[in-house]
Chains A and B, each alone.
Chain A
């Protein structure tokens, strides 16, 4: 596709369940970022990859959160044993160049996660 694609668009899960959120970046983009956005707030950095290498995971809130990008393209953000406080919009972005906090970062539409 032409843009960053995230799936599912909406996810409702019961507390304690694991969820996997998928991001399909723009083809050829080197860098991939995960952000979390609470209502009325700006996106909050979680982690980012250059190719398949996770460069910075300092924003992951705790060890229930993990991310991978095994082939340097599609990425999965996994939240284990979900809690109600994990409810948020999860946004993925990609950029052509490495890192850069970048002008070239394109955001997907996000996955709205609700933990009940």
Chain B
């Protein structure tokens, strides 16, 4: 039962263009969403998050969009840079009750940005 899904295993983008990574979820209790980036041989690092009370959050080149009715979120990177090449994980949390600290992750999308 995959509650958070990233249906694209990989994405290839030209430097300077926009990268769009997608994520779908099924659990209506999720109310907080995060994106993590992971380089080889390192642990995931936090990138950006969004609460369910918002539909957009922007941080520099990174913007996350949330569509609650569609249970869909996306990460936009503009402009993409070769250093953005990494695995990107979508994660979700239901911040009520004892599950407050639990993150549910998607499978990840490998982003490659070509010079």
Contact = CB atoms under 8 A, between A and B. Distances in A.
B108 A42 contact: yes
A38 to B, nearest CB: 10
Given A42-B108, A101-B32, A48 B43 contact: no
Contact of A4 (B43, B91, B93, B104): B43
Contacts of A31: 101
Given A42-B91, A109-B43, A110-B43, A100 B101 contact: yes
A41 B46 contact: no
Interface in A64-113: 91, 93, 95, 98-110
The secondary structure that dominates the A interface is: loop
Nearest to B103: A101
A109 B43 CA distance: 5
A55 B43 contact: no
A107 B102 CA distance: 14
A62 to B, nearest CB: 18
A45 B112 CA distance: 27
Contact of B42 (A55, A104, A105, A109): A109
Nearest to A41: B107
Nearest to B94: A101
A56 interface: yes
A95 B59 CA distance: 21
A105 to B, nearest CB: 7
B89 A43 contact: yes
Contacts of A102: 101
Contacts of B95: 99-101
10 contacts: A4-B43, A42-B107, A43-B44, A48-B102, A56-B102, A59-B102, A101-B95, A101-B103, A106-B43, A108-B43
Interface of A: 4, 31, 33, 35, 40-45, 48, 50, 55-56, 58-59, 91, 93, 95, 98-110
Given A93-B43, A98-B101, A101-B94, 4 more contacts: A33-B101, A56-B99, A103-B34, A109-B42
